[in-house]
């Protein structure tokens, strides 16, 4: 099992790759003691396929 710090580091790495590819913004956040993902899709034309692409990077 990975420690929360590892999950946060991997989340930041993922966010950097997504931003570099102009795909979206997903950053790790904490909520009720859990590591969760905070996402933003500022473009109204964001497709389901793009969201699925982002979710696939999180698997």
Q: What is the pLDDT along the chain (59 residues), one digit of tens a residue?
A: 455 577 667 777 777 877 777 777 777 788 898 888 888 777 778 889 888 888 887 76
pTM metric for this prediction: 0.52
Rounded-to-integer distance, Cα 10 and Cα 17, Å: 11
pLDDT of residue 32: 92
* CA dihedral over 45, 11, 18, 49, signed as positive or negative: negative
| Tokens at 6, concatenated | 């590892």
| Sequence-ordered list of residues with C-beta below 8 angstroms from that of 47, at least 6 positions apart, any chain | none
């Amino acid at each position: 099992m990975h420690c929360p710090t590892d999950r946060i580091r991997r989340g930041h790495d993922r966010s950097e790759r997504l931003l570099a590819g102009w795909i979206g913004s997903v950053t790790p956040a904490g909520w009720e003691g859990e590591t969760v993902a905070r996402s933003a899709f500022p473009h109204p034309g964001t497709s389901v396929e793009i969201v699925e692409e982002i979710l696939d990077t999180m698997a």
